[in-house]
Structure 1
Amino acid sequence: MGHALMENRNGLVVDAELTLATGLAEREATLAMLDRRSAKSQRITLAADKAYDVEDFVGSLRARKVRPHIAINGSVSKTGKVRKTAIDKRTTHHPGYGISLRCRKRIEEVFGWIKAQTGFAKVEVQGRPKVAAAFGFAIAAYNLVRLPRLIAGATT
């Protein structure tokens, strides 16, 4: 599985990782990428989809002093009970929470571009190191394609 950590202001990917597909791979990769980034910044928020709305993960974020801007998983069980969320009211009432939820969808543009433009819909190489290298090059290419637009927008 390919994982990417994107900064929301400019839409650039700041970290990427390739893992084996397990039930916890997405959350473990996210925490690993955050650990590599957290020393470089004082204030971090993490926007993620509702699959990350798990108490252990949210607790791990708070322990790292990362604000969890995670979509609430309000699914209903077969018995009709609404699933309990790990995101509290102090987070959802913050104005930045709604902005983060809108911006988090931009990560899908990264993966869509990679699949369409770099042929990553079906990987042509075998072996984890080669796939990781190809994924890293695809992420770098996305950032390079995005940079001229950002520079042009900054000068106008």
Structure 2
Amino acid sequence: MRHLLKIGASAVDFRGERRSNATHVSTTDPDARLYKKSPGTGAMLCFIGHALMENRNGLIVQADLTGASGRAERRAALDMIHRHDPGSTRRLTLGADKGYDAAELIADLRQACVTPHVAQRTRHSAIDGRTTRHKGYALSLRHRKRIEEAFGWAKTIGGTAQTVYRGIERVRSRFILTLAAGNLARLPKLLGA
């Protein structure tokens, strides 16, 4: 079977060639980008959703959706921190997975009065002993996994696994609204009602 992509009036055969955002564009949503989430999986046209959660109750306090790229998660993390607590001088902590363990991001977080409780990569980690020696670091690493509950709810109940909307602004609005609905669904349990 041939893999053909219509470009203008002519058809182009991409069999055996690597896919890229320069060669593959969605015919229904030009804002979507090819993105490969993990090694061994295929690239898919998608957006990336980001969320900032408070650790105590697991409620989402900031959310955003961006175009897929290798640095989108790091940029979104900084943007959400600055929007959540603009110009603050009180010390915050940010728990995150190994994908955020980059020297540039860690330096930017420290400059913004944020202690990066980021999971360390096995080699060439930007997280050093001044962060890992505190017991709060281990607690943050345990609690950071709770963010997956919000994303799981958004995908299974909220319907964000495959959106019906087109355009990054409409998809972003739906994503943020879905995470807010997830917070509202959790409130009765948190309040003991």
The aligned residue for residue 138 of structure 2 is: 98
d(CA) in 2 for partners of 1:50, 1:129: 28
- TM-score, reference length from structure 2: 0.73
Structure showing the higher strand proportion among its residues: 2
1:119-154 superposed Cα distances (whole Å, 9 cap, x missing partner)? 11111111111101110110110000111111118x
Using the TM superposition, give the Cα deviation of residue 43 of structure 1 relative to its aligned residue in structure 2, in angstroms.
2.3
The letter for the 2-side match of 1:60 is D
Helix, strand or coil at the partner of 2:63: strand
1:10-89 equivalence runs, <5 A = 10-39=57-86, 42-74=90-122, 83-89=123-129
Residues 38, 44 of structure 1: 8 Å contact kept? no
Report the equivalent of 2:53.
6
Q: How many residues align?
A: 145
For 2:115 and 2:161, how far apart are their aligned partners in 1?
33
More helix by share: 1
Matched residue SS, 2:68: coil
Q: Which moved more, 1:95-104 or 1:114-123?
A: 114-123
2:106/2:116 contact within 8 Å kept: yes
Note the residue ranges of structure 2 that are not aligned, 5 or more in a row.
1-47
Deviation at 1:37, TM superposition (A): 1.5
1:58 and 1:129 mapped to 2: Cα distance?
29
In the alignment, is residue 119 of structure 1 matched against residue 159 of structure 2? yes
SS of aligned partner of 1:69: strand
Name 2:182's counterpart in structure 1: 142
Q: With CA pairs under 8 Å and 6+ residues apart, which has the higher RCO, 1 or 2?
A: 1
Q: CA RMSD in A?
A: 1.3
- The aligned amino acid for 1:113 is W
Aligned equivalents of 1:103, 1:92: Cα separation in 2: 15
Query: Normalization by structure 1: what TM-score?
Result: 0.89
Cα shift at 1:41: 7.4
Contact in 1 for aligned 2:89/2:113 (Cα 8 Å):
no
Name the structure 2 match of 1:132: 172
- Aligned equivalents of 1:84 and 1:23: distance in 2? 18
Structure 1: 5+ residue stretches without partners: 75-82
Identity %: 51
